[in-house]
Structure 1
Amino acid sequence: MAQSGVRGKADPAGAATAAPAGRGPSKGGRRGAPRGRGRRVLRWAAILLALVILGSAGAGYLYYQHLNDNITKGERNGGDDSKVHRTQPDAAGRTPLNILLIGSDDRNSDENVKLGGSKDNRGNPPLGDVQMLIHLSADRESAAMVSIPRDTRVAIPKCVDPKTKRVYPPTEGIINTTLARGGAGCTLATWQQLTGVYIDHWMTIDFTGVVRMADAVGGVEVCVNQNVWDHSTPAQRGGSGLKLTAGPHKVKHIQALQWLRTRHAWGSDVMRARAQHMYLNSMIRTLKGQNVFTDSGRLTDLAEAATKSLVVSKEIGTVKKLYDLGTQLKSVPADRITSVTMPNVEDPLNREHVVPQQTGADRLWEMLRDDVPLDKNGKPAKPKPQPSKTASLQPSRLGVAVVNGTGSASRAAVPGRAADVRAVLAQGGYDRAATDTSAALSEDRTVVRYPSADLEGDAQGVAKALGIPLSQVERSTDVSGVTVVVGADWRTGTAYPKKAAPKAGDIPAGSDAINGSDTSACMDVYKPYQW
Structure 2
Amino acid sequence: MARSGTPGEGTRPRVRQAGRPGRDGGLHTEAPEEEPGSGGGGRRAAPAESGHRRGSPKRHGKKGKRRVLRWVASVTALLIIGGAGAGYLYIQHLNGNLKKADLTLGDKKMADHKANAAGQTPMNILLIGSDARDSKENQKLGGAKETFGAPPLADVQMLLHLSADRSNMSVISMPRDTMLKIPKCTNPETKHVYPATTGLEMTNETLGRGGPGCSVATWYELTGITIDHFMMIDFSGVVSMADAIGGVPVCVKGNVYSHTSTGKGSGLKLEKGTTKIKGKQALQWLRTRYGFEDGTDLGRTHAQHMYMNSMVRELREGTKLTDPGKLMSLAEAATDALTVDKGDNGLGSVNRLYDLAEELKKVPTKRITMTTMPNVYGTGTLKERVLPKPGDAEQLFQMVRDDVPLDGKAAKRKTPAAAKKPTATPAETPVTVRNGTRTEVDYPVKGRATAVKDLLAGKGYTQSTIDSQNTEPAKRTGILFPTVDMEGNAQAVAKALGIPLTAVKKSTDVSGITLTVGADWREDGDYHAPSAEEKTPDSARALNGDDKTACMDIQPGFGW
TM-score (norm 2): 0.67
Unaligned runs of 5+ in 1: 1-57, 389-401, 429-434
Q: How far has the Cα of 1:459 moved from its partner?
A: 11
Residue identity opposite 1:348 in structure 2? T
CA distance in 1, matches of 2:473, 2:374: 21
| Structure 1 residue 145 corresponds to structure 2 residue 175 | no
- 1:372 aligned partner: 404
What does residue range 258-297 of structure 1 map to in structure 2 within 5 Å? 258-266=284-292, 267-290=295-318, 296-297=324-325
Q: How far has the Cα of 1:437 moved from its partner?
A: 8.8
Distance change (3 Å), C-alpha of 1:379 and 1:446 = closer
- 1:362 aligned partner: 394
Equivalent position to 2:218, from 187, 190, 193: 190
Residue identity opposite 1:375 in structure 2? D
CA distance in 2, matches of 1:464, 1:366: 22
CA offsets, 1:393-428, max 9 Å, x none?
xxxxxxxxx99865432234679999x99xx9xxx9
Residue identity opposite 2:241 in structure 1? M
- 2:134 aligned partner: 108
- 1:167 aligned partner: 194
Distance change (3 Å), C-alpha of 1:302 and 1:185 = same
CA distance in 1, matches of 2:520, 2:533: 21
Contact 1:209/1:310 (<8 A) preserved: no
Contact 1:339/1:516 (<8 A) preserved: yes
Residue identity opposite 1:530 in structure 2? G
CA distance in 2, matches of 1:456, 1:294: 64
Count of aligned pairs between the two proteins: 449
TM-score (norm 1): 0.70
Residue identity opposite 1:521 in structure 2? A
Q: How far has the Cα of 1:278 moved from its partner?
A: 0.7
Equivalent position to 1:91, from 117, 123, 142: 117
Q: How far has the Cα of 1:186 moved from its partner?
A: 1.9
| Structure 1 residue 324 corresponds to structure 2 residue 355 | yes
Residue identity opposite 2:177 in structure 1? D
- 1:503 aligned partner: 533
Q: How far has the Cα of 1:304 moved from its partner?
A: 2.4
CA distance in 2, matches of 1:514, 1:483: 42
Q: How far has the Cα of 1:75 moved from its partner?
A: 1.1
Residue identity opposite 2:358 in structure 1? T
- 1:67 aligned partner: 94
CA distance in 2, matches of 1:470, 1:318: 45
Contact 2:127/2:230 (<8 A) preserved: yes
CA distance in 2, matches of 1:243, 1:256: 11
Distance change (3 Å), C-alpha of 1:508 and 1:189 = same
Equivalent position to 1:215, from 206, 220, 243: 243
Equivalent position to 1:519, from 541, 548, 552: 548
- 1:488 aligned partner: 518
| Structure 1 residue 346 corresponds to structure 2 residue 373 | no
CA distance in 2, matches of 1:243, 1:351: 31
- 1:5 aligned partner: none
Unaligned runs of 5+ in 2: 1-84, 420-432, 462-466
Q: How far has the Cα of 1:74 moved from its partner?
A: 1.0
CA offsets, 1:174-232, max 9 Å, x none?
22222222222222222222222222222112222432321232232222233333345
Contact 2:436/2:519 (<8 A) preserved: no
| DSSP-derived class of the 1:520 partner | coil
Distance change (3 Å), C-alpha of 1:456 and 1:514 = farther
| DSSP-derived class of the 2:328 partner | helix
CA distance in 1, matches of 2:115, 2:363: 19
Q: How far has the Cα of 1:517 moved from its partner?
A: 0.7
Residue identity opposite 1:99 in structure 2? I
Contact 1:229/1:530 (<8 A) preserved: yes
Residue identity opposite 1:204 in structure 2? M
CA distance in 2, matches of 1:482, 1:60: 66
CA offsets, 1:285-315, max 9 Å, x none?
1111118997644543443233222211222
CA RMSD of aligned residues (A): 4.5
CA distance in 2, matches of 1:293, 1:78: 38
CA distance in 2, matches of 1:68, 1:134: 23
- 1:229 aligned partner: 257
CA offsets, 1:30-49, max 9 Å, x none?
xxxxxxxxxxxxxxxxxxxx
- 1:307 aligned partner: 335
CA distance in 1, matches of 2:502, 2:372: 28
| DSSP-derived class of the 2:383 partner | strand
Contact 1:447/1:473 (<8 A) preserved: yes
Distance change (3 Å), C-alpha of 1:163 and 1:460 = farther
| DSSP-derived class of the 1:529 partner | coil
CA distance in 1, matches of 2:329, 2:435: 53
Distance change (3 Å), C-alpha of 1:255 and 1:511 = same
Equivalent position to 2:147, from 106, 121, 136: 121
Contact 2:521/2:527 (<8 A) preserved: no
Q: How far has the Cα of 1:325 moved from its partner?
A: 2.0
| Structure 1 residue 78 corresponds to structure 2 residue 91 | no
Q: How far has the Cα of 1:276 moved from its partner?
A: 0.6
Q: How far has the Cα of 1:119 moved from its partner?
A: 2.0
